[in-house]
Amino acid sequence: MLMHLQIKSEVNKLYKLLEIDIDGVFKSLLLLKKKKYAALTVEPTGDGKYITKQELKGLDIVRRDWCDLAKETGKWVSLWHCRLCSVLNSTCFVNV
């Protein structure tokens, strides 16, 4: 059994009033605040292989209510993509 399915099954057996489901599997996660994170998600391709995709949630550069100029300026000033990829692909992890 895959690890994420085993974890889900064990938690659901232990806590009868709570049922969890798996929304995604993360290779790396940079959590800034509640609902604000950058991550590399792992997704199956269907042929038994896996790919990683970058996911940004709640960060200034992905907010739909900000104009394009604000988003582009945010990317340029902070060089966000270079720093983010560097952090997420790093071999230096904090185990929680």
In sequence order, what are the residues at sequence separation of 6 or more whose Cβ sits closer than 8 angstroms to the Cβ of residue 54?
38, 39, 40, 41, 84, 85, 88
- Mean pLDDT of the 65-73 span: 72
The pLDDT tens digits of the residues spanning 6-55 come to: 888 888 899 888 888 888 888 888 887 777 788 888 888 889 898 888 88
What letters, b where the CB count within 10 A reaches 16 and e where it falls short, cover 7-17?
eeeeeeeeeee
Residue 77 confidence (pLDDT) above 70: no
One-letter identity of residue 89: N
On the CB side of 9, CA atoms within 13 Å amount to: 6
Q: 94 by DSSP, 3-state: which?
A: coil
Cα separation values, 3 from 9, 11, 39, 43, 71, Å: 10, 12, 20, 14, 38
